Amino acid sequence: MITKEMTVLEIVEKHPETEDVFRSYDDITGKCVLCSCLFDTVEKISLDYNLDLDVLIHGINSAII
């Protein structure tokens, strides 16, 4: 289960299948989330880019096999 306190690196390291979810936000954020926000928490990304935290977490959790 992914929480808002987890970093992108922590999530992708444990669950590589979530990379596509983060990539889907590249156009919205205007940058590569995996490159630029690797050490940021999911909560920080949602705040910095005005993303819906619940939708982001749900998308990440849905990608985990």
Whole-Å CA distances, 56 to 19, 49, 60: 13, 11, 6
**Tens digits of residue pLDDT in 17-58:** 999 999 999 999 999 999 999 999 999 999 999 999 999 999
Compute φ and ψ for 41, nearest 5 degrees. -80, 160
* Model pLDDT, residue 65: 77
pLDDT (mean) for 2-27: 98
- Tell me the whole-structure pTM to 2 decimals: 0.92
Whole-Å CA distances, 35 to 1, 2, 29, 32, 65: 23, 20, 12, 5, 23
Confirm if 33 and 22 have CB atoms less than 8 A apart. Answer: yes
